[in-house]
Structure 1
Amino acid sequence: MKNQINWNSLGFSYIKTDWRYISYYKNNKWDDGKLIEDNKLYISEGSTALHYAQQCFEGLKAYRCRDGSINLFRPDQNAIRMQRSCSRLLMPKINCKKFIEACKQIVIANEHYIPPYGTRGALYLRPYIIGVGDNIGIRSAPEFIFSVFCVPVGSYFKSGLTPTNFIVSEYDRAATNGTGAFKVGGNYANSLLPGEKAKISNFGDCIYLDPKTHTKIEEVGSANFFAINYDNCFVTPKSPSILPSITKYSLLYIAKERLHLKVEECDIYINKLNYYKEAGACGTAAVITPIGGIKTGNIFHIFYSETEVGPITKRLYKELCGIQYGDIEAPKDWIIKVK
């Protein structure tokens, strides 16, 4: 399969790689875990993951550097976020050391699937935990599986670093005091229908508003939202139902410490889009997707341009990607070298 991959035309889709990591939780403890070749899971028909959505997942990337080395970008933050998701869904946590070691093993075992430096591709890692075992009642599972697999990927949106338009959805992504701040599958299943409706209408995806008042921007599809106002302040929504994106918090740091911009987490009202000159979506999969315009009701608001990327968004993208690919010095503890 590896020899059939066109590295320069990679999208974001499943490609079977050679090895994945798997560990089982039984009798109140995790085993040591191992690498396996089989990409199929064999689980009980009563597994809580199937019936009650007791599962969570993460997403991170490994990058090939100019010198041939391999960077993992902030995997400790993914491990910590997964622990929070496990706590919310009554699942046993994976400690950070085991999480990072599993990721390293997968990258090394599938190294030949890492897109070459210069293609802007990466090896996407998908760690997940699911509740399994014989069960039928609504309760936490008797057993669990922790696994990590990987796929080579390119841009999440086909257009890459070019502006994409979005539409405000009438649906809510998550409840006010629900699971919106945790990376659990139910949040994403809930987004499939509104996302499909957006695409049918020729938009990249949805803009989700806060579920309580429907006046404030929360997320962009499965990504976080950011904007640049006319005072050159990097702003991003603040809400207990937003997933805390590792990419977003990395951009907050970069904007403040590297680009010397003001930064703020605050309410961003959908009826005040004219306060902002640039906007974007950000996340591990999308990295940064510039937002050309947002349609809300009968109004279509254009930010910097529908065809050109704003200058500050360009600088943020260049700095972040430079750090990830090893071309720009990273802040302390952001990069783990695999080899």
Structure 2
Amino acid sequence: MSAPQFTVTRNPAPASPQRRAEVLANPGFGRYFTDHMVTVGWTEGSGWQDPQVVPYGPLSLDPATMLLHYGQEIFEGLKAYRQADGSIATFRPDANAARFAGSARRMAMAELPEDLFLASLSELLAVDSEWVPAAGGEDSLYLRPFMIATEVGLGVRPSAEYLYSVIASPAGPYFADGVAPMDVWLETEYTRAAMGGTGTAKCGGNYAASLLPQSVGAQHGCAQVAYLDAEERTWIDEMGANNLFFVFRDAAGAVELATPDLRGSVLAGITRDSLLTVARDLGITVTERRISGQEWLGGAASGVLTEVFGCGTAAVITPIGTVKHTGGEVTIGDGRPGPVTLQLREALTAMQRGSAPDPHGWMHTMVPAPATV
């Protein structure tokens, strides 16, 4: 299928080169946005139509827009990296496209074709290419594709109209002063998602439900919350914004890298899936299995569990130093990032920034390198 044709309307008042340089020098995460965005509409009977790159700006919604009452909304997150030759590439955008379509199915929304998803990224990056940070580091341009229900009217049913959009935000390195561990709260009262629910979809409601337990974790000095399953309150699911990995070492020093299996309430993380492959490439024994909260706490206390880390698009890998719970707290290993954690993080980030081989073809060039004279 040929790529859809986008119309481009340039922002009449883009950020000046000086302002853009100021932002890129200290972008943080999700604080600033580029000059343009993508919009594509869908209506029942007509399908997807009018793909555009337009100036970044507010959306106008009627008070009776179905999004505001019934919560049909999904999103994705991925990063664009400047490569050494000046081209711009993204990491596994086809996987994001597939997950976006899966989220749409679960939320009874229109499914966006993969070619349109990929074209929307390349079109926005071509127009806002100067917002992509320089090559060599972990700085990137974060891309946020999302879709909302836009039909006006009340009544509990799927919307007959949707708006797909992509916005972009410069992102600095997650760990500006070196990879640092975080403390995590093991939640036993609230759950993230249940079997048959929306846990496998990347929808806003899942994140809204995590905000209260997140505030509970913050009261205990924790940056993130890890959840148990909703049925037995026994098995580790994931964190509010990350999948989880556990490194076990037996008495002979053999290493097992374990992660909770995708049991119907866990989001299928693209970073998670990538790390499973990278770990196998490095000769690390990998398992996807049930891991109980007690195995986490007991393994850390006995020393069998030596490392734990979360993984996701924003930080790639975040080591966990301490897990706190209603009965106390336990430190993982010596509380510092472990060797397996750091090895995996370096392997994946080096591939993303173009300084290591890409044997699986995960990096997709969205904007080619400038022509040389």
Give the TM-score taking structure 2 as reference length.
0.86
- Number of the residue aligned with 1:261: 284
Quick one: percent identity of the two aligned structures?
35
Quote the Cα distance in structure 1 between the aligned partners of 2:228 and 2:177. 25
Cα shift readout 1:42-83 (whole Å, capped 9, x = no counterpart): 122222221111111000100112332211100000000011
Partner AA of 2:208 in structure 1: A
Cα shift readout 1:143-167 (whole Å, capped 9, x = no counterpart): 1001111000124578762111101
- Number of the residue aligned with 2:200: 181
| Aligned-residue offset at 1:224 | 0.4
- Number of the residue aligned with 2:221: 202
Q: Please, which of 69, 72, 76 is the counterpart of residue 58 of structure 1?
A: 76
- Match runs of 1:199-238 below 5 Å: 199-230=218-249, 231-238=254-261
Q: Secondary structure, in 3 states, of the residue corresponding to 1:337?
A: strand
CA contact 1:232–1:262 (8 Å) conserved in 2: yes
Q: Secondary structure, in 3 states, of the residue corresponding to 2:271?
A: helix
Larger Rg: 2
Quote the Cα distance in structure 1 between the aligned partners of 2:114 and 2:36. 21
- Does residue 78 (structure 1) correspond to residue 131 (structure 2)? The answer is no
- Number of the residue aligned with 2:164: 146
- Does residue 242 (structure 1) correspond to residue 272 (structure 2)? The answer is no
Quote the Cα distance in structure 1 between the aligned partners of 2:179 and 2:232. 32
CA contact 1:71–1:326 (8 Å) conserved in 2: no
- Number of the residue aligned with 1:96: 114
Instruction: Classify 1:160/1:173 alpha carbon distance in 2 versus 1 (closer, same or farther; 3 Å).
Output: farther
Quote the Cα distance in structure 2 between the aligned partners of 1:156 and 1:50. 32
Q: Secondary structure, in 3 states, of the residue corresponding to 1:190?
A: helix
Q: Secondary structure, in 3 states, of the residue corresponding to 1:72?
A: strand
Quote the Cα distance in structure 2 between the aligned partners of 1:155 and 1:44. 38
Partner AA of 1:311 in structure 2: P
Q: Please, which of 30, 33, 46 is the counterpart of residue 16 of structure 1?
A: 33
Q: Secondary structure, in 3 states, of the residue corresponding to 2:38?
A: strand
Partner AA of 1:202 in structure 2: G
| Aligned-residue offset at 1:290 | 0.5
Q: Secondary structure, in 3 states, of the residue corresponding to 1:309?
A: coil
Q: Secondary structure, in 3 states, of the residue corresponding to 1:277?
A: strand
Q: Secondary structure, in 3 states, of the residue corresponding to 2:213?
A: helix
Partner AA of 2:333 in structure 1: Y
Partner AA of 2:272 in structure 1: K
Q: Please, which of 295, 302, 322 is the counterpart of residue 272 of structure 1?
A: 295
- Number of the residue aligned with 2:123: 105
- Match runs of 1:118-157 below 5 Å: 118-156=136-174
Give the TM-score taking structure 1 as reference length.
0.95
- Number of the residue aligned with 1:251: 275
- Number of the residue aligned with 2:311: 282
Partner AA of 1:292 in structure 2: G
Quote the Cα distance in structure 2 between the aligned partners of 1:76 and 1:213. 35
Quote the Cα distance in structure 1 between the aligned partners of 2:194 and 2:62. 30
Instruction: Classify 1:332/1:88 alpha carbon distance in 2 versus 1 (closer, same or farther; 3 Å).
Output: same
| Aligned-residue offset at 1:283 | 0.5
Quote the Cα distance in structure 2 between the aligned partners of 1:32 and 1:97. 15
Q: How many residues align?
A: 336
| Aligned-residue offset at 1:17 | 1.1
CA contact 2:24–2:170 (8 Å) conserved in 1: no
Runs of 4+ that moved beyond 4 A:
155-160
CA contact 2:200–2:267 (8 Å) conserved in 1: yes
Q: Secondary structure, in 3 states, of the residue corresponding to 1:175?
A: coil
For structure 2, the 5+ residue unaligned runs are: 1-18, 369-373
- Number of the residue aligned with 1:309: 337
Quote the Cα distance in structure 1 between the aligned partners of 2:310 and 2:177. 13
Q: Secondary structure, in 3 states, of the residue corresponding to 1:281?
A: strand
Partner AA of 1:10 in structure 2: P
Partner AA of 1:295 in structure 2: K
| Aligned-residue offset at 1:6 | 4.8
Quote the Cα distance in structure 2 between the aligned partners of 1:293 and 1:62. 32
CA contact 2:38–2:165 (8 Å) conserved in 1: yes
CA contact 1:63–1:70 (8 Å) conserved in 2: yes
